[in-house]
Amino acid sequence: MNELPRRALGDTGIMVSCLGLGTVKFGRNQEVKYPQGFQIPGDREVESLLREARELGINFLDTAPAYGSSEQRLGRLLRDRDQWVIGSKVGEEFLSGKSQYRFDRESVQRSLERSLRALHTDYLDLVLIHSDGNDMHILESTDCVETLVQAREKGLVRAIGLSGKTVEGGIRALEMMDVAMVTYNRTSTAEEAVIDHALAHNKGIVIKKAFDSGHIARGEEESRLALEFALTRAGVSSVIVGTINPHHLQSNVENAVAALAGETRSA
């Protein structure tokens, strides 16, 4: 198998594997939208999966306070911090089985400090605003962006952005910050304009829900086509795929490499 390529995360100076590992399943199995339920894996399983991800060429991890115990487990089990690009979020927490959203300065600062402690690190490579859907209100009527900008200036964060839900919010976030995380798959292309804006202005794009939370990639061929669709889209820095299955992880990497090799041959 050829090496998994790395791409620039816009103009941040950060290089990320074109396939990133989502870690929601490391810490949360309540109120999730996957087609099948699952058991949260044990420490040994998580540690083995992280080791395999690194061996396969993945250097980008996506986590969040809203992912239950994901940050704490990564902090406890991750080795060689400097070899990983760690992205987390602010704005959403998952408490007592329900999401709660806070975007005021104090809450954002507290969330950042808690993530740094949980992950046993003195900096985060990427922090995204975990939107509740009111993208423009968060960006323009709260202290959230300003607080993240200040954290970036202090060296606590290398790059900042929005995991949003609207085209308007995604484009505005790229005007104000470094990165946008957008939903993009074969059945949901509404946020394509955000990718176009990022491409034109050298900003970072991270894809979420490339498999539509498992609803459009239930077989090997569907998974391959879904990854090919997202990875070969110009302007995409990385596609986040969450799994706790070692076979699925290896298969995803193989499909990503094959998709990009085919793109190179046809260029």
Which residues are part of the catalytic machinery? Answer: 67
User: 180 CB contacts (<8 Å, ≥6 apart)?
Assistant: 161, 162, 163, 164, 170, 173, 174, 194, 198, 203, 204, 205, 206
Task: Tell me whether strands 6-8 and 15-17 are parallel, antiparallel or unpaired.
Answer: antiparallel
Q: How many CB atoms lie within 10 A of CB 34?
A: 14
SS3 53: helix
SS3 224: helix
From CA 111, how far away is CA 124, in angstroms rounded? 12
Q: Which residues contact 124 (CB under 8 A, 6 or more apart)?
A: 86, 87, 88, 112, 115, 116, 156, 157, 158
Q: Can you read off the two tokens belonging to residue 144?
A: 């959230």
Helix axes 43-55, 246-266, angle to 10 degrees: 20
